[in-house]
A and B are shown apart, each in its own frame.
Chain A
Amino acid sequence: MTRRILAAFLGLTLALLIGVVVPLGVMASAHDRQAFADQTVSASAALASAAEEQLADHEHGTLISGILGYRPALVGNDEIAVYDKSGHVVIRGPAQLRVTPAQVAAALSGQTVQQWQENPQDGLLVLRPAYSGSRIVGAAVVQRAAQPLSQQVASLWLGLTLTGLAAILLATTLSIALARWVGRPLRRLDTTANRLGAGELTVRASTQMGPPETRHLAGTFNDMAGRLEALVGSHRTLVADISHQLRTPLAALRLRLELLHDDVDPAAAGELDGALGEIARLSRLVDGLLAVARAENTQPAPVTVDLTQLAAERVAIWSPLAAERHIQLLTSSSQASVAATPGHLEQVLDNLLANALDVTPHGGQITVAIRQHHDRVRLEVIDSGPGMTSAQRDQAFRRFWTQPGDSPSRDTTSSSGLGLAIVHRLITVDGGTIELSNVPDSGLAVQIDLHAAPG
């Protein structure tokens, strides 16, 4: 936006300079030139009238004093010459004047001749007839050097150029200031919107900056964020409330069935066991929903976490179980620290390692890899299970998704279908991303990209 405002301002300024200032300069310099010519012409008239009497009397001797009378009209180093009516030079200054006989003839025939000399130094040549009454008695010639004129024109153009540059500078400064005034609050609003989008629902925009429209926009944004927060809050409270409310009847049911269990014959007791199993499943589900509600409700509070050390600790904790199952648990990590909310990555790794151990056959291996690339750190957990189809990968982060063939009654936790949903939430709340892909000759790779810790 800064660029556009700058372009608009500079465009307008240049248009004004070209459309108005340049013609003004041209006009002014033409006017100066005309004035110069007029002055030169009147100087020649003064010379002609001074020379007139003497030319009429053929008294060349008195001509000099006549010329002296003309002096006041002379400027600086005007070159002058006087011709008599037959075209002979009567008097002329020290320098040679480039006067052609045709010009003299024209002047003697009654015309006033103005000629800008080819050599710009020489300036303007004016020839005019000298009259005695109505009779032409000779011609007066004045050549006035153009230097003062060109100086005047040059300083005019210099002034105009400086004015133009000042205008461009002013336009640039103003447009940058304007762009900042308009742009900064918009950029802040953008940052705020991004944070809101990332789940930081309490964030609000400043309504004290920028043009009124932006302030109004910030106000509207804040209203929207407030409503969103209330809505999401009530939704989460609802999930949590329902889960809590379910626990009391579940407790009553469980206690009742357990007591009944002792009073019935063994065949019926078997049925009751099944019912108790279902209650256990339901309780797990309630716990799971609460865990999801909690995960979704977490506010990011990232600190610097030594991911390498954390991963090594989790791997050490899980390795006895892996060893029992004859699964190799490998790590390949370079030193990396990330910005993450404390406790999140432990949960993430526990869930991922549990899943990986579930699908990896005896003799297989699981790799935990960490590597840093600029300001991102990739954490990868690769199992040697069967992998997932792309349809399964698309669904895997949804709540209640269970891997086909995963019997819900076998293990009531890992197949509640909430583990990956929680992992996804815990990663994204800290600004990370998570993806699943199949590794050729291996199994599923879970790839997590996290922000490297600053500094």
Chain B
Amino acid sequence: MAVGPDETAVPRANENPPTGLHVLVIEDDPAIGRQLERGLIRAGYGVSRAADGSQALLADPADVILLDLGLPDIDGLELCQRLRARSSAAIIAVTARSEEATRVATLDAGADDYLIKPFGFVELLARIRAVLRRINPIESGQLRHGSLTVDPRTRRVFVGDRDIALTPKEFDLLSCLAEDPGRALTRQEILERAWGGHWYGPSKVLDVHVASLRRKLGDPALIETVYGIGYRLASIE
């Protein structure tokens, strides 16, 4: 898969200033923990780390908690429930297991979202922004691009005044393109963002949704195919 230099770069602090938000990274694997800390600091977040459950329960309050479910001392779901009970922070569970039951159990245990390993920073930061938007709807801004309006809070899409009915997948696809109009997203990135990470099946399913989205939006040129890479929203003259 050819990946252009712009697609994998970690967004810099100035691209997305999170105004002093704090992230608690609970991760027993030191390699992953260190990379996450570096990447999140680079993206403008304050970061503290915990290597196991007992440290996590003693940590300072945070705005977002990244919780690895495979900790050595406490069962991940149990820890998730205990963290939820004492904090209103957004919790994103991180797991290496993608089974449906695990996902449901994770959300039931109080997590706001989950990430399946291996994930990249683009996906991680997008998810952090998304859970923060959900917790703080006032901060949520509509995404505008020409006549296109995407409202992540109400999950509605307008072209001009026309309300466009989209399927959930089509909405997720469009909103990740609309977050940064003009930037080409790789197929892999879009699949990870819109299909909860690890869709396994024909990746052509993405092309299917793009084709259907183009029809519904009524402007086939709005979503551009970037050959060999993926898709982007066409820039507006």
Residues on A lying within 8 angstroms of B by beta carbon are 244-245, 247-259, 261-262, 266, 269-270, 272-273, 276-277, 279-281, 283-284, 287-288, 290-291, 294, 317-318, 320-321, 323-324, 347, 350-351, 353-355, 357-358, 409, 411-414, 419
Q: Is the Cβ of B96 less than 8 Å from the Cβ of A258?
A: no
A-B contacts, 14 listed (Cβ < 8 Å)? A251-B96, A252-B35, A253-B118, A257-B8, A258-B10, A259-B10, A273-B2, A280-B1, A287-B198, A290-B200, A321-B211, A324-B211, A412-B188, A413-B201
Q: Which residues of chain B are near A324, meaning CB under 8 Å? A: 207, 211, 214
Chain B contacts of A317 at CB under 8 A?
208, 212
- Complex CA gap A294/B201 in Å reads 13
**A249, A280, A287, A354 interface centre (most CB from chain B within 10 Å):** A280
Residue on A nearest B213 in the bound complex, by CB? A320
Instruction: Tell yes or no: B5 within 8 A of A by CB.
Output: yes
Distance of A255 Cα from B207 Cα, bound (Å): 27
Asked if A255 meets B215 with Cβ closer than 8 Å, knowing A413-B202, A414-B202, the reply is no
Establish whether residues B8 and A258, one from each chain, have CB atoms under 8 Å apart when the complex forms. yes
Contact of A259 among B35, B98, B187, B210 (CB under 8 A): B35
Given contacts A255-B120, A273-B3, contact A321 B204 (CB under 8 A): yes
A354 to B9, CA, bound (A): 31
With a cutoff of 8 Å between Cβ atoms, the chain B residues found around residue A355 in the complex are 202
For chain B, residues 183 to 237, give those with C-beta under 8 angstroms from any C-beta of chain A.
187-188, 198-205, 207-208, 210-212, 214-215
What mask results when residues 114 to 144 of chain B are scored 1 for a CB within 8 Å of chain A, else 0?
0011111100000000000000000000000
| Total cross-chain contacts (CB, 8 A) | 140
Residues of chain A lying within 8 A (CB to CB) of residue B59: none
Complex Cα distance, B119 from A347, in Å, reads: 25
Q: Find B35's partner among A255, A284, A350 (CB 8 Å cutoff).
A: A255
> Which of the segments B36-44, B49-57, B76-84, B104-112 contacts the partner chain?
B36-44
* CA–CA, A244 and B10, complex, Å: 26
Name the A residues within 8 Å of B97 (CB-CB). Answer: 244
Also in contact, A287 and B98, with CB within 8 A (given A350-B201, A413-B201):
yes
A261 to B2 Cα, complex, angstroms: 15
Extra contacts, 6 of them, besides A249-B31, A280-B3, A412-B1 (Cβ < 8 A), are A251-B96, A255-B36, A258-B10, A266-B5, A291-B201, A324-B211
CA distance A269 to B29 in the complex (A): 26
B21 at the A/B interface (Cβ < 8 Å)?
no
CA distance A414 to B201 in the complex (A): 8
Could you tell me if B214 and A354 are in contact, using CB atoms closer than 8 angstroms? no
A273/B5 in contact, CB under 8 A: yes
Size bin of chain B's contact surface: 35 or more
What are the residues of chain A within 8 A of B202 when measuring CB–CB? Answer: 350-351, 353-355, 413-414, 419
CB closest residue in chain B, given A289: B200
How would residues 169 to 182 of chain B score, 1 for a CB under 8 Å from any chain A CB and 0 otherwise? Answer: 00000000000000
> Closest CB of chain B to A244's CB: distance in Å?
5
* B38 contacts across to A, CB distance below 8 A: 259
Distance of A360 Cα from B1 Cα, bound (Å): 22
Partner of A411, one of B5, B31, B203: B203
Across the interface, B204 reaches (CB within 8 A) one of A252, A269, A414, namely: A414
Min Cβ gap B42→A in Å is 7
Given A273-B2, A273-B4, A321-B211, the answer on whether A291 and B32 have CB atoms closer than 8 Å is: no
Which B residues touch A290, using CB under 8 A? 98, 200
**Cα distance A318–B29 in the bound complex, in angstroms:** 42
Given contacts A256-B35, A280-B188, contact A323 B98 (CB under 8 A): no
In chain B, what residue has the closest Cβ to A415? B203
Contact with A along B79-104 (1 / 0, CB 8 A): 00000000000000000111100000
Whether A261 contacts B35 in the complex (CB less than 8 A), given A247-B117, A290-B98, A321-B208, comes out as no
Bound Cα distance A351, B201 (Å): 7
B119 — which chain A residues lie within 8 A by C-beta? 251, 254
B-side contacts of A254, CB under 8 Å:
118-120
Q: How far is the CA of A142 from the CA of B30 in the complex (A)?
A: 129
Enumerate the 6 nearest inter-chain pairs by beta-carbon distance, A residue then B residue, closest first.
A354-B202, A413-B203, A320-B211, A251-B118, A255-B35, A250-B118
**Which residues of chain A are within 8 angstroms of B210 by Cβ–Cβ distance?**
321
Among A249, A250, A321, A414, find the residue whose CB has the most chain B CB atoms closer than 10 A: A321
In the bound complex, do residue B5 and residue A269 qualify as a contact, i.e. CB atoms below 8 Å apart? yes
